Structure 1
Amino acid sequence: MFDPALLDKAETLLQSMRRRRLKLATAESCTGGLIAGLLTEIAGSSDVVERGFVVYSNEAKTGLLGVPEDVIAHYGAVSEVTARMMAEGALKNSLADIAVSVTGIAGPGGGSPEKPVGLVHFACASHHGLTAHRRLVFAKASRHDVRMKSAVAALDLLEAQLGTATRLA
Structure 2
Amino acid sequence: MKNIQNTVEKIIQKLTKKQKTISFAESCTGGRIAAAFTAISGASDVLHGSCVTYSNDIKHLWLGVTNEVLENHGAVSEPCVSQMLDGIQELAGSDYAIAVSGIAGPTGGTEFKPVGTVYVGIQTPFAQQVFHCNFSGPREAVQEQSTVFAIEKLAEVLEI
* TM beyond 0.5: yes
**Deviations 1:84-106, CA, capped at 9 Å, x for gaps:** 11011111111211111000000
Aligned to 2:127: 130
Read off the aligned partner of 2:74 and give its amino acid letter: G
Which segments of 5 or more consecutive residues in structure 1 lack a partner in the other structure? 165-169
Find the residue that maps to 2:143 and give its secondary structure. Answer: helix
| 1:153 alignment counterpart | 149
User: Pick from 3, 14, 25: which aligns with 1:5?
Assistant: 3
1:31 paired to 2:29 = yes
Question: Which residue does 2:19 correspond to in 1?
Answer: 21
Question: What percentage of aligned pairs have identical amino acids?
Answer: 35
CA distance in 1, matches of 2:157, 2:130: 10
- Unpaired runs of 5+ in structure 2? none
Structure 1 moving runs of 4+ over 3 Å:
none
TM-score normalised by L of structure 2: 0.96
Taking only aligned residues, the RMSD between alpha carbons, in angstroms, comes to: 1.0
Q: Displacement, 1:130?
A: 2.1
SS at match of 1:120: strand
CA contact (8 A) 1:84 1:122 kept: no
Give the AA of the match of 1:162: L
What does 1:6-155 correspond to in 2, within 5 Å? 6-126=4-124, 128-139=125-136, 141-155=137-151
2:158 to 148, 155, 162: 162
TM-score (norm 1): 0.91
Cα distance between partner residues in 1 of 2:64 and 2:44: 25
Task: For residues 53-89 of structure 1, give each alpha carbon's deviation from its aligned partner in whole angstroms, at most 9, with x where no partner exists.
Answer: 1100001100110001111100000001101110111
**Residue type at the aligned position of 1:100:** I
Rounded to whole Å, the distance in 1 between the matches of 2:16 and 2:78 is 29
**Which whole-Å CA distance do the structure 1 matches of 2:83 and 2:23 have between them?**
14
User: How many residue pairs align between the two structures?
Assistant: 160
Preserved CA contact (<8 Å) 2:34 2:50 = yes
Using the alignment, how far apart are the partners of 2:153 and 2:130 within structure 1?
8
